[in-house]
């Protein structure tokens, strides 16, 4: 089954409405104003998951002050959307120049030319399945008896949305045990922040957890059913910053200045982790213990190298074709570049 049709319908949705940012509020969306003004190029950046998407930290004033170019070489507005398709819609409408995407949304957007002039990947946000760092993990309730992939037969499994990168991880695991969603188990679409409650009250039996929400799953004593490291022998890039090609043509110098700032931001976060954890928790109204429980620890994804590894990126795209999430592969070197990074 190909999932391009699912993604195409998603791209045609309207933009998300404004909401608040909290741990349970992450199921909604919000708009976060960055610094504005005149005299320098203005850039717009859209993200989906606060903190987990590194670019979201550009919304924090105290962190803005730690980078060299913001405010002089470019102005920045940072917006949170409910989903990556919403971010692509905003990019297609010319409302933002850059967005945080995952592999499936990137591949689908390239193939469908969802943004006029198409898009280019300009940095890596994080990798999945790294042997020393967090990989997407499927958890079940502590008394469920579900402890391995085969136990998922006959169950309801939670995912944020079908046709996504997290769905691809689920699909890969099921195929490994010759199981199929729809006949051997059922997919249930729910927002990630509701997964723990949904498992505890029996609406779902298991779910796939990003790093941010895995903190709560571990705290509840949930069973680790399997991880992406159980499925792939090597890490692969999972999330990225992309820019519209039109923006790269019109604001290339400003985007390169942002790329320098992104490199500085990553270094600053690792060198000042405790401070950044506190700032991020306060700004996004998240429990500090949750942010501290994963961010920039081994319970977080591998994210120290923001450059694009086109060989592993090509592997990831080809894997999505094999899994049926993308109809045809393409040469990623035509839609990805490290030119805007220092």
| Each residue's pLDDT expressed in tens, for the chain with a length of 342 residues | 333 333 333 333 333 333 323 343 344 344 443 344 457 899 999 999 899 999 999 999 999 999 999 999 999 999 998 888 889 999 999 999 999 999 999 999 999 999 999 999 999 999 999 999 999 999 999 999 999 999 999 999 999 989 899 999 999 999 999 999 999 999 999 999 999 999 999 999 999 999 999 999 999 999 999 999 999 999 999 999 999 999 999 999 999 999 999 999 999 999 999 999 999 999 999 999 999 999 999 999 999 999 999 999 999 999 999 999 999 999 999 999 999 999
Neighbours of 153 (CB within 10 A): 14
CB 66 within 8 A of CB 58: no
pLDDT attached to residue 83: 82
pLDDT of residue 82: 81
Position 12 scores a pLDDT of: 33
Residues of the chain by 3-state class (helix, strand, coil), percent to 5: 40, 20, 40
Q: Enter the pTM of the model.
A: 0.87
Which are the contacts of 323, defined by CB distance < 8 A and separation ≥ 6?
A: 168, 171, 172, 175
Chain Cα centroid distance, residue 78: 16
Residue that the structure tokens 């004593």 belong to: 221
pLDDT at 84: 85
CB-based contact 41:254 (threshold 8 Å): yes
C-alpha distances (whole Å) from 7 to each of 10, 175, 182, 217, 281 are 5, 21, 19, 28, 32
- At residue 85, the pLDDT reads 84
Task: Give the angle subtended at the CA of 27 by the CAs of 25 and 29, to the nearest 5°.
Answer: 75
Count of residues in the chain: 342
**What domains can you pick out in the chain, each with its CATH number?**
4-130+236-334 (3.40.190.10), 137-230 (3.40.190.10)
pLDDT of residue 38: 54
- What is the distance between the alpha carbons of residues 246 and 119, in angstroms, rounded to a whole number? 8
């Amino acid at each position: 089954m190909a999932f391009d049709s699912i993604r195409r319908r998603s791209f045609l949705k309207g933009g998300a409405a404004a909401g608040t940012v909290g741990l349970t509020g992450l199921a909604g969306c919000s708009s976060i104003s960055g610094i504005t003004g005149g005299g320098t190029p203005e850039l717009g950046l859209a993200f989906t998951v606060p903190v987990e998407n590194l670019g979201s930290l550009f919304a924090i004033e105290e962190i803005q002050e730690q980078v060299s170019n913001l405010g002089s070489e470019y102005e920045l507005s940072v917006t949170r959307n409910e989903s990556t398709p919403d971010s692509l819609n905003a990019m297609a409408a010319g409302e933002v120049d850059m967005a945080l995407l995952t592999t499936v949304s990137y591949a689908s957007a390239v193939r469908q030319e969802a943004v006029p002039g198409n898009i280019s990947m300009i940095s890596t946000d994080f990798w999945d399945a790294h042997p020393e760092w967090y990989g997407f993990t499927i958890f079940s309730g502590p008394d469920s008896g579900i402890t391995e992939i085969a136990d998922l037969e006959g169950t309801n499994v939670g995912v944020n949305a079908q046709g996504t990168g997290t769905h691809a991880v689920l699909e890969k695991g099921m195929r490994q045990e010759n199981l199929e969603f729809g006949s051997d188990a059922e997919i249930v679409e729910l927002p990630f922040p509701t997964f723990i409650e949904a498992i505890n009250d029996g609406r779902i039996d298991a779910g796939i957890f990003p790093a941010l929400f895995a903190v709560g799953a571990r705290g509840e004593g949930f069973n680790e059913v399997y991880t992406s490291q159980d499925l792939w022998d090597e890490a692969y890039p999972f999330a990225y910053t992309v820019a519209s090609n039109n923006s790269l043509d019109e604001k290339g110098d400003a985007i390169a200045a942002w790329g320098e700032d992104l490199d500085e931001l990553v270094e600053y976060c690792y060198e000042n982790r405790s401070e950044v954890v506190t700032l991020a928790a306060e700004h996004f109204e998240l429990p500090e213990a949750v942010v501290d429980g994963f961010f920039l620890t081994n319970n977080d994804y591998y994210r120290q190298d923001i450059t694009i590894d086109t060989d592993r990126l090509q592997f990831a795209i080809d894997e999505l074709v094999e899994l049926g999430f993308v109809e045809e592969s393409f040469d990623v070197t035509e839609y990805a570049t490290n030119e805007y990074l220092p």
